[in-house]
Structure 1
Amino acid sequence: MTRNILSDDLADAIVTTARTATGDSLRSVTYFTRANFEQLYLREDLEQDADLNDFVGHEWQGYKQTKNAYQESELGDYRFTVRAFSNGYLLRATTERHGVLITTDGLTMQSYEEIAEAIERLLREESDEE
């Protein structure tokens, strides 16, 4: 895993957005691209040595498959994914070039929507600047 695959400003903005929206419910924040990832935040009470390689790879592939599968859906455009696990929840907010995985304790669906919109806005702004 290569470090510093995104600017310090974007990393800080992503973590600040996630922390502000989730408070103490935030578990972790990971930024990823098709080829790489960087964990930006991990709550102190969680295992510090988790192997994220397969996890992030699956989420990138899952984004592509989900977007393709639902492109003609009457539900409208795919926006983000929330997954429920026995110990928490995962939010995946992704653009064509990069994405963010946020894990949390329980939040409302409205909170996940607000976080996803804010993260997607940050990612789009970064893409526009490149």
Structure 2
Amino acid sequence: MTAPLSDDAASRFVTVARTALGDSLRSLTFFTRTDYEQLYLRDDLEQDADLSSFIGHEWQAFQLTQDTYKGSELGEYQYTVRSFENGFLLRVATERDGVFVTTDGLTVTQFDEAANALESVLEDRRD
């Protein structure tokens, strides 16, 4: 598989995620509709996650969430946090691409700060 990101762009995502989440960051994956690249995986985690099924689900879930809540009194969709027994998944996406990170426990404020930082990197890629 060809990497969907340049080395500089991948490095920027990792730097932003590590700065925002510190040692709580477990993994970071960039994705588009048709491709993905795992940019970071913490050393103490197993290397065998089936990312292709994650990507398909996260892309479809982003589209469904965005379409479902469009025009609601809640305002524009920003990001999704999923809670699991052993951590959390934060998804930030645009119409073109997205990232998801897995983390250890964080506060809502930390998720918000991380989502805003990652979204700014996604938006910079549009320029």
Q: TM-score, normalised by structure 1?
A: 0.95
Map of 1:72 onto structure 2: 71
Q: Percent identity?
A: 58
**Structure 1 segments unaligned to the other structure (5+ residues):** none
Are the counterparts in 1 of residues 27 and 103 from structure 2 also a CA contact under 8 Å? yes
Stretches of 4+ aligned residues off by more than 2 angstroms: none
Map of 2:102 onto structure 1: 103
Output one character per residue of 1:54-93: Cα deviation in whole Å (capped at 9) or x when no partner: 1111000000000000002101000000000000000000
Per the TM alignment, residue 3 of structure 1 is displaced from its structure 2 partner at its CA by 3.3
Give the secondary structure class of the aligned counterpart of 2:64.
Answer: helix
Map of 1:82 onto structure 2: 81
Map of 1:12 onto structure 2: 11
Query: Aligned runs of 1:29-68 on 2, under 5 Å?
Result: 29-68=28-67
Measured in 1, the distance between the counterparts of 2:8 and 2:109 equals 26
Per the TM alignment, residue 51 of structure 1 is displaced from its structure 2 partner at its CA by 1.2
Measured in 1, the distance between the counterparts of 2:106 and 2:9 equals 24
1:94 aligns with 2:89: no
Measured in 1, the distance between the counterparts of 2:80 and 2:96 equals 17
Measured in 1, the distance between the counterparts of 2:13 and 2:70 equals 27
Give the secondary structure class of the aligned counterpart of 2:3.
Answer: coil
**Structure 2 segments unaligned to the other structure (5+ residues):** none
Q: For this pair of structures, how many residues does the alignment match?
A: 127
Measured in 2, the distance between the counterparts of 1:23 and 1:120 equals 17
Give the secondary structure class of the aligned counterpart of 2:74.
Answer: coil
Measured in 1, the distance between the counterparts of 2:4 and 2:123 equals 16
Map of 2:26 onto structure 1: 27
Per the TM alignment, residue 23 of structure 1 is displaced from its structure 2 partner at its CA by 1.0
Measured in 2, the distance between the counterparts of 1:64 and 1:15 equals 25
Amino acid corresponding to residue 7 of structure 1 in structure 2: S
Are the counterparts in 1 of residues 88 and 104 from structure 2 also a CA contact under 8 Å? yes
Measured in 2, the distance between the counterparts of 1:29 and 1:118 equals 13
Q: TM-score, normalised by structure 2?
A: 0.97
Give the secondary structure class of the aligned counterpart of 1:127.
Answer: coil
